[in-house]
Structure 1
Amino acid sequence: MKLFFLQLGLLAGAIPAAAQQIPALSLTCPAPAASQALQKLHCETRDLTLPAPAAGNTLTIDARANGGITVRGWNGTTVKVRALVTGRAATAADARALVAAVRITAQNSTLRASRANESLDGWAVEYEVLVPARTDLDLKAVNGAIKAENVAGKLRLNTTNGPLVLLDVSGDVRGQTTNGSLTLRLSGPAWAGPGLEVSTVNGAVDWQLPAVYAATILARTTHGKVSAELNTKRKSVLPHNLAATLGKGGAQLKVSTVHGSISVKQPAETAPVQPDPVE
């Protein structure tokens, strides 16, 4: 029981300061010039405010089949959603009709979009979502990127054609893509929570860590190279594999790709500034 409360405390401490600020929803419609010559584009944004999932429940965002997801943590107690709905058709009227027929629902902590006739042609919905900084997430896409920032919890991230971007996350994080890169930027003194495991098949991995950090990291590629610039002597760097203990070690963080290279970096440690002697 003491260990359980200790882990909760670590997760609470792992919520970055950036999550304490109230970010703005920035998703907007593209400029009219984005319309293709043979198609007309119609676009609109829809804003929703939802209750946060109850403790122990997961917020699911289903962007299949066309659309990406960006989720950021904030210090509020509700979930704020901006959905960017687009339609492309031969005429402007048809494009507007496509968008008008899209329904966005949020039931049982699941956010998704659909059309009455279930056709997937010609329309897409992209989501930008603010969640309480400690929220369990299940993010699903097929043709779109997934980005999670400043969130701690049980995170499950899956897309097929699109990158995964993880910025200042912690907790129990598992994610995968098939055709897309992996970008990881971590902060704080150590990973707080059970660990991280993310993978891609066709994509490179760019992993940035703080100069001082505690964790056990593993990286593997099949058809690519691994490069590492780390502030530790406890490491094994081979052409296709990396294993290293940073600081005092800790949670296991794993990344992998099949067709792609992996870059893992820490900035050089800076010596503390010594005060001038008092005369």
Structure 2
Amino acid sequence: MSSEEQMAILKLLEQGKITAQEAERLLRAVSGQSRGDGPRLDELGKNIGQAMQEAGRAISDAVGTARRSPAGRALGGMVDDVVSEFSGSGEEIEETREWTLEAAGVALLQADTSNGAIAVEGTDLEEIRVRATKKVKARTRQQAEECAAQVEVHAQREGDTVRIWEERPRNLTGIRVEVRYLVQCPRQLALRLNTLNGAVTSQGTRAGVEASTLNGKVEVKDSQGPMKLHSKNGKVAAHLELLSGRGEFETANGKVEVVVRAGQAPIDAKTLNGAVDLSLPADFSGRLDASTVHGHVHSEFPIPVVGKPDKARLEGDIGPGGEHLVRLRTLNGAISLKKLAAAQE
């Protein structure tokens, strides 16, 4: 989570621009405590202008005012959590645990965490290697150690699935817990990766990826299969050797960038705030439906236009046409459909 984002929310609260309820929802969203959508964080930054450039005593005074206000009191310990994190005070401990699991008969790798990054690498190994790093920050070392002892990380096989997940106590006022995973697995495993706050990345797998985060980027490289990649606040990027099934690429705030070197499949790429860039093989055939509100649409594929040309919307056949719909959407940003040269495919 970003301390600047949290301080921006508190500043808006102190200025009376948002209610306590709105502030609570936003704080929970950026801290990974809820899947609620909430307003875009970039707009919060625009609203406060130079406020986040203040340092030292100016920030402390603003936070103190927010804490003393009725709205600040309504937020309870969440204000203290933000202050503790922003100031850098407290004690932090870090623990690492590793597992090696047999991969024979495994078809799916599923990893879930509330606050932390997930990174998966497809390899030629015939086993699954998991490294989980647990980081706890609290006001005192004793608090950090007591909390760390209650945060449990699991990696185990259940049928044809290997699951990785963490369990933590609730109501950790003033305590920050991060659990991140680094995994190596056989290339033929399908991936299902979920975090609320942190980046999700994978590379070199061949059976498809489902990945989601509330706050962070989602990136898949050198992979094959169907794709379902979602973020609420962060870039979504995919560089695929083969798209063998439906591709869904979505974020609310950030760029969507997809490169498909081979494959014929439906594609849905969209964002509310950012550009959409899609590169397809020269022999791709399907139908394009692309539109933006504030921006323009450009295609390197010749798209026959029926009716009056519209710079913000483009519909028509890609190549000879076909059943595969390519749907591209953004509210604020440009849309670009590119044709890969033979050497790039």
Report TM bin, short chain.
Answer: 0.5 to 0.7
Question: Which of 239, 244, 265 lines up with 2:312 in the alignment?
Answer: 239
Higher helix share: 2
Question: Which of 101, 107, 111 lines up with 1:61 in the alignment?
Answer: 111
Distance 1:46 1:247 in 2: 53
- CA deviation after TM superposition for structure 1 residue 127, in Å: 1.1
Q: Is the 8 A contact 1:197 1:255 kept in 2?
A: no
Distance 2:206 2:328 in 1: 18
Amino acid at match of 2:164: L
* Mapping 1:168-247, distance limit 5 Å: 168-187=222-241, 191-208=242-259, 213=281, 214-216=283-285, 220=290, 222-225=292-295, 230=300, 232-233=301-302, 238-240=311-313, 245=318
- 1:39 corresponds in structure 2 to 90
Question: Which of 186, 199, 207 lines up with 1:132 in the alignment?
Answer: 186
Q: Is the 8 A contact 2:111 2:165 kept in 1?
A: yes
Q: Larger Rg: 1 or 2? A: 2
| RMSD after superposition | 3.6
1:97-153 deviation line (CA, Å, top 9, x unaligned) = 3333321112322110113x3456411111111111111121111111111211111
C-alpha change, 1:158 and 1:37, in structure 2 (3 Å) is closer
* Mapping 1:15-54, distance limit 5 Å: 37-52=88-103, 54=105
- 1:25 corresponds in structure 2 to none
Amino acid at match of 2:151: V
Q: Which moved more, 1:174-183 or 1:214-223?
A: 214-223
C-alpha change, 1:106 and 1:37, in structure 2 (3 Å) is closer
1:214-250 deviation line (CA, Å, top 9, x unaligned) = 44575746445466574x4458795355777479989
C-alpha change, 1:77 and 1:202, in structure 2 (3 Å) is same
Q: Is the 8 A contact 1:89 1:95 kept in 2?
A: yes
- 1:90 corresponds in structure 2 to 139
Q: Is the 8 A contact 2:104 2:126 kept in 1?
A: no
- 1:111 corresponds in structure 2 to 164
Matched residue SS, 2:225: strand
Matched residue SS, 2:97: strand
- 2:7 corresponds in structure 1 to none
Q: Is the 8 A contact 1:41 1:87 kept in 2?
A: yes
Number of residues of Structure 1 aligned to a counterpart in Structure 2: 231
Unmatched 5+ stretches in structure 1: 1-33, 271-279
C-alpha change, 1:97 and 1:184, in structure 2 (3 Å) is same
C-alpha change, 1:99 and 1:257, in structure 2 (3 Å) is farther
Q: Which moved more, 1:176-185 or 1:211-220?
A: 211-220
* TM-score between both structures, scaled by the size of structure 1: 0.67
- 1:15 corresponds in structure 2 to none
Greater relative contact order (CA < 8 Å, ≥ 6 in sequence) = 1
Unmatched 5+ stretches in structure 2: 1-84, 262-278
* TM-score between both structures, scaled by the size of structure 2: 0.55
Matched residue SS, 1:186: strand
Matched residue SS, 1:99: helix
- CA deviation after TM superposition for structure 1 residue 175, in Å: 2.1
- 1:273 corresponds in structure 2 to none
Q: Is the 8 A contact 1:215 1:250 kept in 2?
A: no
Matched residue SS, 1:80: strand
